[in-house]
Amino acid sequence: MSKIPFLAIGNDELKDNENVGEFETCPNCGEQHKVRYGEKVNKDGSRTKPKFLSFIDCQNGSYLVGINGKRLK
């Protein structure tokens, strides 16, 4: 059986009353980067952005900054 990668985050790891903004601070470089969201591919092939996972892109890769609209601590 191959290993399946996963990420587990509890409610205590999300900031209360702090929603993800249009720009967030990068944990890599400390600069502000524009937030982007993961896409959901629907059965009909269309794509939507449910804003469940929030990412920023930096020179070395992408960083998860929020889940379901809440910032990570």
pLDDT (0 to 100) of residue 6: 85
Q: Where are the domains of the chain?
A: 18-72
pLDDT (0 to 100) of residue 62: 93
pLDDT (0 to 100) of residue 63: 93
pLDDT (0 to 100) of residue 51: 83
pLDDT (0 to 100) of residue 35: 96
Walk along the chain (73 residues) in steps of 10 and give the mean pLDDT of each run: 80 87 93 93 92 90 91 88
Q: Is-contact 23 34, C-beta < 8 A?
A: yes
pLDDT (0 to 100) of residue 1: 57
Own/partner long-range contacts of 23-30 (Cβ < 8 Å, ≥24 apart) = 24/54, 24/56, 24/65, 24/66, 24/71, 26/56, 26/58, 26/63, 27/63, 27/65, 28/58, 28/59, 28/60, 28/61, 28/63, 29/58, 29/59
pLDDT (0 to 100) of residue 8: 87
